[in-house]
Structure 1
Amino acid sequence: MPRTRDNFSKKVIRTLREQVSYRCSNPECRVITAAPGDTEDGVNRVGQAAHISAASPSGPRYDKNMSAKERASENNGIWLCNICAKKIDNSPSEYPVETLKNWKTTALRKAKSELGKPIPDEDYVVNVLSTAISGASYSSLPPQTAISNIHMAAAQGLSKKYPGFSFQTSYDSRGTKIHITPEYQEDLEFSFIAQNPEEATEQYFRLLRTGKPASFKIKSLKFGELDSLFQALNEEDATISIASQIKKDSIMKLGVIDDSSKPYFFDDIKGQCHLGTDGFFFEGSACSDIIIASTVIEKSGTTKESLNIRFDYSKWNDMPFRSLPYIRKLKSFSDKLMSSSKVTIDLEIEGLKVFEGQSNPNDFQRENLEIIELAWCAREVCVELDKEILFKLNDLSISDQNNIYKLYELLNFKRRKDLESEKSLEITFIADVYNLEEFNEMVRRPNTEVLINDHQQKYLEILGQKIEIPEITQIFKSVSAEIIEEITKDRTYRVHLKPLKGFEFWEGFNIKKNKKLIRKVNENN
Structure 2
Amino acid sequence: MSEGKTKQKKSGSAAEEVAHKRHDFTQTTVQRLRDRAGNVCSFPECYVHTHGSAFTGDKAVGIGVACHIKAAAPGGPRYDAEQTKDQRRHLDNGIWMCQTHSRLIDADDSAYSVETLLEWKQRAEARSNSLLNQKSFTQKEVNAAVEEGNISIVQRMMNMSTDPINMPLDTMMTGYETALEALDPRFNVQVDRVGGNCHHFISAAQENVTLNLILQDLDKLEGFYEAERALFEEGRQLEIPGAHVMFEGSKLFEAIHQKIHRSGQGVLTMGAPKRPLTANLYVRTTEGHEVSIDTFTCYYTSGSVRTVFEGEALGGFFAVKASCAHDGTGTSFDLRFDAEAWRGKNILDLPRFSRLAKAAPYFGKGRLVVEIEVGNNAASFDTKTSPINEEYHALLRWLIEYLGFARKVAEQCSEAIFLKNLDFDHEVYSILRKYAGLIDGPYLGTRKPGLLSKGLFDSQDKCDFSDLKTGGLPPVIKVAQKNSVSFELFGQAITPPRIETLYTGIELVAYTDLETPSQPKAEFYTTEDSTVTMQMQSGDPWIVHRDLSVLDEPLELDG
Bin the TM-score by the shorter chain.
0.3 to 0.5
TM-score, structure 1 as length reference: 0.46
Relative CO higher for 1 or 2, CA cutoff 8 Å, sep ≥ 6? 2
TM-score between both structures, scaled by the size of structure 2? 0.44
Determine which structure has more spread, i.e. the larger CA radius of gyration.
Answer: 1
